[in-house]
Amino acid sequence: MNEKPGIPMNNAAVRSLPKHLLQFAVDQRYDEYTSVDHAVWRFIMRQNIFFLREYAHKVYFQGLLETGISFERIPRIEEMNDILGRIGWGAVAVDGFIPPAAFMEFQAYKVLVIACDMRQIHHIEYTPAPDIVHEAAGHAPIIVDREYSNYLQRFGEIGAKAMQTRRDFELYEAIRHLSILKELPNSDPEELAQATKLVEHRQQNLGEPSEMALLSRLHWWTVEYGLIGTLENPKIYGAGLLSSIGESVSCLEAHVRKIPYSLDAQNQPFDITTRQPQLFVCRDFRHLMAVLEEFADTMAFRTGGLEGINKAIECNRVATCEYSSGLQVTGVFDEVIVDERNRALYLHATGPCALAYKGKQLEGHGREYHKEGFGSPIGQFRPNEIQVGKTTKLEFDSAITVEGKVENMVERDGKLLLVSFSNCTARYGDRILFDPSWGTFDMAVGDRISSVFNGAADKEAYLEVALVPKERTIKVPSDARRRRLENLYQQVRDIRETKKGYERLGEIWETQQAQHPDDWLLSMEIFELLDEVKEQPELKERVAEFLHQIARTNKDKETLVSWGFRLVKYHKLPEYRAIRERAAAH
């Protein structure tokens, strides 16, 4: 079993993760969440209950209950794993955005990656960076639907094979950096402007979008920002919308264009740092799977051939070309020889390379042995009978010849995969493809390249190290003033949970007014408590007037304050009490 300190292994899906994915997993460090963090979570979740009960896909609310996600506090990853395990899924904490290929592969293993940061109060409506609200309260509830969870896993399997370029990764790094800066309370405007320009520059100079870039768009317009149902009355299922109390409201308004979902969504770029001007509406979750498979039919892992090889060469990253015999060659591909009919005749990858079959590395054919690279003809050859110990001349239909002493042959499932020659010369016309002085020539066997996909065939054996982002998300600095505010939030939380100490609310509020006059959420929590217990009406009126004053003088907070008052009224309704009881029972 793969293990990593601080990563909960109480879940079968998490235990199955390979080492190259576990390198992204981090300790959630639950105790570092502050009372302000929990208050922000509580406000968002309770707003979601109010709004999304009508506008989200019907499975979302049931999923909230079934996954046991608390409305009152940030969930622990191990608690989520206990419940997700019942439907065959799991979760790990990660640090912000991780590379798209790794994200996809986690999904293929039926593991949700949970960005463990918590958005700050100034981004309570929407955060440009992934956080635990987005992951835990956005993604997790929907996967209780079997059709959707199958789609998510299948997307991961296909996405993990998508060809990608160095430019893709550079754009990812720029977007990650910009999202981190935007989440900071006091970002340097000049640094923020430079980061924004860098994202725009890399988007504009991405060139022809890779398979991963196109697939990321389909993921964005479905898993993250998808609507479902009819164009006239769509429901929300995308995690980005479900976790954004601001955009979940605005996305259904008429100014946001609604487009029927189809493969054309791959042509629509997106901006991760702002609200979307258009959204795509699928008919149902089966519709999602149909479009995904339609896209997969165009990918190199299914088409192979010269087009697939050229994609691997263009990407200039570790990829795998699979011969029709099943032999898989992993390396950074740099050349393909073609004939006048545009047929691929010979394939070359620069080192280190490795050979595998059905995803398992062939013994003795790892990157240490093929450290200088690997090249081999493609196609049929004569004679078909080859014997170990005999000198043989093979003539390919392409006019490539291979002549040498056969030292070894590798077969699997009755198919010849590899022939190893000593004292071997391989030629294509006047060009020497292999010289006897170079050592042993290992020749792949296969009529054609049937599949080309991203990464190593056997990632564990190849010791493929993914590009883990060096820049870490930034925690809000804690100083004495911030800690005093957190203490006030904790006191209010203790009063609410113990149902004792209501008489202290006036003193707490006066302290907040004196020391933190711009904070509105603590006042809203105090107002809510006073309304619930029907005590201290004069204090309640003063708190309400303060909140109304904030709403009058701060446009950004006007909506949030009005939502808070709306929630206090909703809190009294029998249907809300029933929801809370159901949640507690789960």
In a domain, 277, yes or no: no
Cα–Cα dist 538/409, whole Å? 90
What's the CA gap between 349 and 333, in Å, rounded?
4
Domain termination site, one of 209, 226, 252 = 209
Pair 490, 433 in one domain: no
The whole-chain average pLDDT of the chain stands at 88
pTM: 0.85
440 & 572 share domain: no
Bigger pLDDT: 545 or 2?
Answer: 545
Mean pLDDT value across residues 25-39? 91
Please write the tens of the pLDDT for every residue from 327-354: 999 999 999 999 989 999 999 999 899 9
Shared domain check, 405 and 541: no
Which residues are within 8 A (CB) of 192 and not within 5 positions of it... i.e. 6 or more apart? 178, 181, 182
CATH code of 131's domain: 1.10.800.10
Query: Does some domain include residue 284?
Result: no
- Residue 238 in any domain: the answer is no
pLDDT digits over 388-430, tens only? 999 999 999 999 999 999 999 999 999 999 999 999 999 999 9
Q: Does 233 reside within a domain?
A: no
In a shared domain, residues 200 and 340: no
Do 166 and 34 sit in the same domain of this protein?
yes
The verdict on residue 214 lying in a domain is no
Kindly state whether residues 520 and 581 are assigned to the same domain.
yes
**DSSP-derived secondary structure for 180-199:** HHHHSTT--HHHHHHHHHHH
Cross-strand partners of 279 = 258
Predicted pLDDT at 575: 56
On the question of pLDDT at 532 being above 70, the answer is yes
What CATH number corresponds to the domain at position 562? 1.20.58
Peptide bond preceding 574: is omega within 30 degrees of 0, i.e. cis? no
**Do residues 498 and 433 both lie within one domain?**
no
Instruction: Determine the average pLDDT of the residues in 497-505.
Output: 95
pLDDT class of 274 with cuts at 50, 70, 90: confident
Asked if the structure places residue 116 within a domain, the reply is yes
Query: What is the pLDDT at residue 369?
Result: 96
Residue numbers of the domain that contains 521: 480-585
Query: Is 161 among the domain residues?
Result: yes
Q: Of the residues 175, 209, 243, which one is the last residue of a structural domain?
A: 209
Model pLDDT for residues 478-493, shown as the tens digit of each residue: 788 889 999 999 999 9
Indicate whether 437 and 489 sit together in one domain: no
Which helix (H) or strand (E) segment is 346 a member of? strand 344-357
Residue 110, helix vs strand vs coil:
coil
Of 90, 93, 85, nearest to 107 (Cα)?
90
DSSP conformation letters of 379-431: B-EE-----TTSEEEEEETTSEEEEEEEEEEEEETTEEEEEEEEEEEEEETTE
Q: What per-residue confidence (pLDDT) applies to 126? A: 64
| Structural domains counted in the chain | 3
CA–CA separation, 50 and 52 (whole Å): 6
CA dihedral 568, 571, 574, 580 (to 10 degrees): 180
> Are 362 and 431 found together in one domain?
yes
Residues 529 and 443 in one domain: no
Could you report the per-residue pLDDT of 348-396, keeping only the tens digit for each?
999 899 999 999 999 999 999 999 999 999 999 998 789 999 999 999 9
Tens digits of per-residue pLDDT, 88-140?
999 999 887 788 888 899 999 999 998 888 888 877 766 666 778 877 888 88
Asked whether residue 253 carries a pLDDT value surpassing 70, the answer given is yes
Per the domain annotation, does 273 fall within a domain? no
In this structure, are 123 and 188 located in the same domain? yes
Rounded (5°) CA angle 127-580-284: 60
pLDDT in tens, 430-471: 999 999 999 999 999 999 999 999 999 999 899 765 555 555
**Residue 31: pLDDT over 60:** yes
pLDDT of 472 reads: 55
User: Which among 209, 228, 249 is the end of a domain?
Assistant: 209
Residues 435 and 495 in one domain: no
